[in-house]
Amino acid sequence: MHARIEAEFTGRGPILTNLPRYEKRGGQLEMALAVADALTSETNLMVEAGTGIGKSFAYLVPLIYWTLKEGRKAVVATGTKVLQNQLVAKDLPFLADHSDIPFKFEVLYGQENFFCRRRAGMVAQYGLFDDPDQASELERIATWASQESGVFEDYQEPISPGLKGQISRRSEACLRRNCTYYVECPYYRKRRAAEQADIIVINHLLFFAHLESAGKLLPEFGAAVFDEAQRLEQVAASYFGVRLTSIGLSLLCSRIYNPRRGSGIAPKLPGFPALKPKLRALIEETRLAADNFFMNIANLLKPYETKKRIRAAGCVPNDLEQPLDDLSGFLFEKAKDTDDENLSFELISLGDRVSVAKGAVVSFLDMADANSVYWIEASDRNDRVSIHSALIDVSEMMRNSVWNQSWTNILTSATLTVGKRFDFTAERIGFKGRTLWIGSPFDYEQNALTYVGHDLVSPKHEAWAERMPQRVGELLKVSEGRALVLFTSYATLNKTVEALEEEVSKKHTVLVQGRTSRNVLLDEFRFDTSSVLFATTSFWEGVDIPGESLVMLVITRLPFEVPDDPRAEAILEGYRRQGKEPFTAYQLPLSVLRFRQGIGRLIRRDDDYGVIAVLDSRIVKRAYGRLFLDSMPPAPVVFNLLEVQRFFENH
Ligand code: SF4
């Protein structure tokens, strides 16, 4: 296997030489050989592969050789849909077309992404629509599903969210082999295809759902690759928590029975008139208890708060558990009594969801898990209130349920290290195994420049918010727009846009996060090559804009975790209890990782060039700034705008 890999990544193999822009990259071969070693020795491996290595091929090629040699399956789990699509629509088809050994791959999604013909038939039969237009919408979807994949992902039009929830697969409402549509069912067709595949592409969430289902969702596999592994901790922490919203619970009640409109599933039951008084009372009791529960929750927030950590059990009276229990019990009982199989399964499904809501309420109020953090959220007008929990420390769970299992794990990402060390990431997710760092092959010394606004006051100083926008304006003049300006808060973003928009928009299109969807913003930014995009948290990663549209990346402030985030706060407390200094042990390394994700937006291809402008002078004035500087790509560092100007004149 190693000889074939070596031949492949040195331009002597049958596959990669067919790539239109393929160039030999030392780092790619090094990574591919390390992945092959890990697979053959069954040792877990974590690889940081700098941007431009071509890491997906560096793990896919050895994975293909290994699956075929061993006759075992591998799963590849991604953190984002973008990468999942790239693997399934580009990389794997290319490898399948050019590989000298045949292999099969398949993509699997969560069950909510699959059209369920049985449930859809029932919705149509009983007219369970939120509005009459949904009848024709469902007809179009059903026709499409009968001819195409039946995976909503592939449907070209938007689907009404209420309808989608009613016609997608739900485990507890699925008849499985007893279903009339089992053979052509999109979900089982995919499952059967996955059984035949060598490589199965999923996302991180589905991997955790597989763990939670005690290994029932995926076929048996011998290797798991986690790409975008920097996201694993957050995904695991929220997956194993709870979330219940006032709106979700209200909608669930309406699906069962809405006495005012006479709608919901219940009126379709034979003998409904006899059940009506009891069900009406149950629904009204549940709604009243839910209203009180969420009102009490909202009252725990001060007028200016939208989020608050809950520190003691029983923060509000538990008057909701019993009505939810009564309601689910009633639904399960009626499910047994009805002869209509479709209605019966739908009642079971609704009863199950009510039961899950009850579990969330109990778990939230009891706060029995010392390794979970609990909090509440509400919209400004308190019309959307929710309760939440998440795991604080996922390391032990990950160690027991993932790293110490029988399969081999490969983790990769462009940002896993702090100062080229894996300690922080490995500790956060409890990873045990080999680590490998491979730098980016891009020529940062020639093609990039780091500018530091060293003369600006610290962002902790009030004057920074006044002076920083002015410096952004100066940088945008030098780069002639073509910039992504990253913030750590909406408040500063809005103030900066307010200060600059009039002037900047005379020459460039000004794009601002929040004014339209992320995809539309990124498309406009990509196609309007002199535009400027002002954005915050979610744009620090996953933005891939090569070429002239992005030659100036402004990091306005070092991205330290907001200390009032409940989970971050709980993590900091944990470090304090262990006698560790939370800033050094957690906030600083986490901030360095985010900073690296941000600066990774600039150079995406070997012919890209540009300036990283850091407007947080703490990077050179505070001792910890060294860790940020040491984690940056090797571009020359300058402190003068004239040098930035000279850089652009030369490129
Ligand atoms: S097998 Fe399950 S998911 Fe598929 S159509 Fe039947 S009930 Fe729906």
Q: How far apart are CA 321 and CA 446, in angstroms?
A: 64
Tell me what pLDDT residue 563 has: 66
pLDDT at residue 24 tops 80: no
Contact at 8 Å (CB) between 206 and 109?
Answer: yes
Average pLDDT, the chain: 92
Q: Which atom of ligand 1 is nearest to the CA of 180?
A: 6
399 alpha carbon – ligand 1 mean position (Å): 35
Q: How far apart are CA 159 and CA 165, in angstroms?
A: 10
Q: Which carries the bigger pLDDT value, residue 563 or residue 389?
A: 389
State the burial class of residue 498 (Cβ atoms within 10 Å of its Cβ: 0-12, 13-18, 19+). exposed
Which residue's CA lies nearest to atom 8 of ligand 1? 116
pLDDT at residue 129 tops 90: no
Q: How far apart are CA 426 and CA 229, in angstroms?
A: 11
Q: For the residues 69-77, what does the mean pLDDT come to? A: 96
The reply to whether 2-104+197-231+399-438 and 241-391 are identical in fold is no
The CATH number for 444-649, chosen from 1.10.645.10, 3.40.50.300, 3.40.50.12780, 3.10.180.10, is 3.40.50.300
**2-104+197-231+399-438: which CATH topology?**
Rossmann fold (3.40.50)
* pLDDT tens-digit series, residues 322-338: 999 999 999 999 999 88
Q: For the residues 341-349, what does the mean pLDDT come to? A: 91
Q: Residue 382 — pLDDT band, cuts 50, 70, 90? A: low
Pocket test for ligand 1, best of 118, 151, 178 (most atoms within 8 A of CB): 118
Tell me what pLDDT residue 556 has: 97
117 alpha carbon – ligand 1 mean position (Å): 6
Tell me what pLDDT residue 578 has: 93
Other C-beta atoms closer than 10 Å to the C-beta of 185 total 24
Which residue's CA lies nearest to atom 7 of ligand 1? 174
Pocket test for ligand 1, best of 112, 115, 116 (most atoms within 8 A of CB): 116
Q: For the residues 106-114, what does the mean pLDDT come to? A: 93
Distance, C-alpha 344 to centroid of its chain: 35
Pocket test for ligand 1, best of 168, 177, 187 (most atoms within 8 A of CB): 187
Tell me what pLDDT residue 161 has: 81
pLDDT at residue 304 tops 90: no
Q: What percent of the chain has pLDDT over 70?
A: 99
240: nearest Cα among 395, 405, 472: 395
Tell me what pLDDT residue 482 has: 96
Which residue's CA lies nearest to atom 6 of ligand 1? 179
E strands in 206-365: 223-226, 243-245, 307-310
3-state secondary structure of 376: strand
Q: Which carries the bigger pLDDT value, residue 609 or residue 262?
A: 609
Q: How many CA atoms lie within 13 A of 247 on its CB side?
A: 8
pLDDT at residue 60 tops 70: yes
Q: For the residues 193-207, what does the mean pLDDT come to? A: 95
The CATH number for 241-391, chosen from 1.10.3470, 1.10.275, 1.10.1060, 1.10.287, is 1.10.275
pLDDT at residue 26 tops 80: no
Q: For the residues 484-509, what does the mean pLDDT come to? A: 94
**What are the tokens at 547?**
């070429």
pLDDT at residue 212 tops 70: yes
* pLDDT tens-digit series, residues 537-596: 888 887 888 899 999 999 999 998 776 789 999 999 999 999 999 999 999 999 999 999
Q: What is the 3-state secondary structure (H, E, C) of 440-471?
A: CCCCHHHHEEEEECCCCCCCCCHHHHHHHHHH
* pLDDT tens-digit series, residues 185-199: 999 999 999 999 999
Q: Which atom of ligand 1 is nearest to the CA of 179?
A: 6
pLDDT at residue 602 tops 70: yes
Torsion of CA 467, 472, 474, 476, to 10 degrees: -170
Q: Which atom of ligand 1 is nearest to the CA of 111?
A: 3
345: nearest Cα among 118, 180, 114: 118
Domain boundaries along the sequence of the chain: 2-104+197-231+399-438, 111-188, 241-391, 444-649
* pLDDT tens-digit series, residues 448-459: 999 999 999 999
CB-based pocket (< 6 A), ligand 1 = 116-119, 169, 174-176, 179, 181-182, 185, 187-188
Q: Which atom of ligand 1 is nearest to the CA of 177?
A: 1
Tell me what pLDDT residue 322 has: 97
Q: How far apart are CA 246 and CA 384, in angstroms?
A: 6
pLDDT at residue 131 tops 70: yes
Phi, psi of 418 (to 5 degrees): -120, 120
Burial 592-618 (b: 16+ CB within 10 A, else e): bbbbbbbbbbbbbeeebbbbbbbbbbb
332 alpha carbon – ligand 1 mean position (Å): 20
pLDDT at residue 154 tops 70: yes
178 alpha carbon – ligand 1 mean position (Å): 9
409: nearest Cα among 2, 51, 77: 77
Other C-beta atoms closer than 10 Å to the C-beta of 399 total 15
Cβ partners under 8 Å of residue 212, min gap 6: 239, 240
610: nearest Cα among 440, 448, 441: 448
Q: Residue 258 — pLDDT band, cuts 50, 70, 90? A: very high
Tell me what pLDDT residue 97 has: 87
**What are the tokens at 293?**
């529960």
Output the DSSP codes for 272-305: HHHHHHHHHHHHHHHHHHHHHHHHHHHHTS-TT-
Q: Residue 21 — pLDDT band, cuts 50, 70, 90? A: low
Tell me what pLDDT residue 243 has: 96
Phi, psi of 470 (to 5 degrees): -60, -40
Tell me what pLDDT residue 411 has: 98
Tell me what pLDDT residue 315 has: 95
Q: How far apart are CA 476 and CA 504, in angstroms?
A: 8
pLDDT at residue 20 tops 80: no
Q: For the residues 590-611, what does the mean pLDDT come to? A: 92
Output the DSSP codes for 536-557: -GGGGSS----STT-SEEEE-S
Pocket test for ligand 1, best of 114, 169, 178 (most atoms within 8 A of CB): 169
Distances (CA, A) of 250 to 134, 244, 275, 374, 538: 20, 11, 21, 22, 30
